[in-house]
């Protein structure tokens, strides 16, 4: 059951990464130079209230330095890279190894 949840999360993360990459590719072609949108800009464009709530939560419940150093660094990365990394991590957790059979059994 948990493998399914992680695989589903990987699929959703990969879908978001592809959508963000296509948007960046479109902007790159239109501008004739490389355009990579940081995750912070994308998140602010979609839902600024949740971003401010997340900042308040991290600053109050965890540590202000965690937001200043860690979260700001992560949010400055391109969104497609962050979500592709999340997809890879979720897929690695939900990966199911093949059952190895005993091929060298005595006959």
Is 99 part of a structural domain of the chain?
no
pLDDT of 1: 81
Is 83 part of a structural domain of the chain?
yes
Is 106 part of a structural domain of the chain?
no
Is 101 part of a structural domain of the chain?
no
pLDDT of 11: 96
Q: Which domain holds residue 58?
A: 2-94
Is 100 part of a structural domain of the chain?
no
Mean pLDDT of 60-82: 91
pLDDT surpasses 80 at 10: yes
* CB of 23 closer than 8 Å to CB of 82: no
Tell me which of 35 and 103 has the higher pLDDT.
35
pLDDT tens figures, 17-69: 999 999 999 999 999 999 999 999 999 999 999 999 999 999 899 888 888 88
Is 90 part of a structural domain of the chain?
yes
Give how many domains the chain has, as a whole number.
1
**Residue 78 DSSP SS3:** strand
Share of the chain above pLDDT 70, in %: 93
């Amino acid at each position: 059951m948990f493998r399914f949840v992680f695989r589903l999360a990987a699929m959703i993360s990969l879908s978001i990464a592809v959508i963000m990459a296509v948007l960046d590719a479109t902007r790159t072609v239109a501008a004739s130079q490389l355009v990579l949108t940081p995750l912070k800009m994308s998140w602010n464009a979609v839902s600024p209230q949740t971003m401010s709530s997340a900042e308040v939560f991290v600053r109050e419940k965890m540590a202000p330095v965690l937001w200043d150093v860690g979260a700001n660094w992560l949010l400055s990365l391109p969104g497609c890279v962050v979500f592709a990394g999340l997809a890879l991590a979720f897929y690695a957790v939900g990966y199911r190894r093949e059952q190895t059979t005993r091929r060298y059994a005595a006959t």
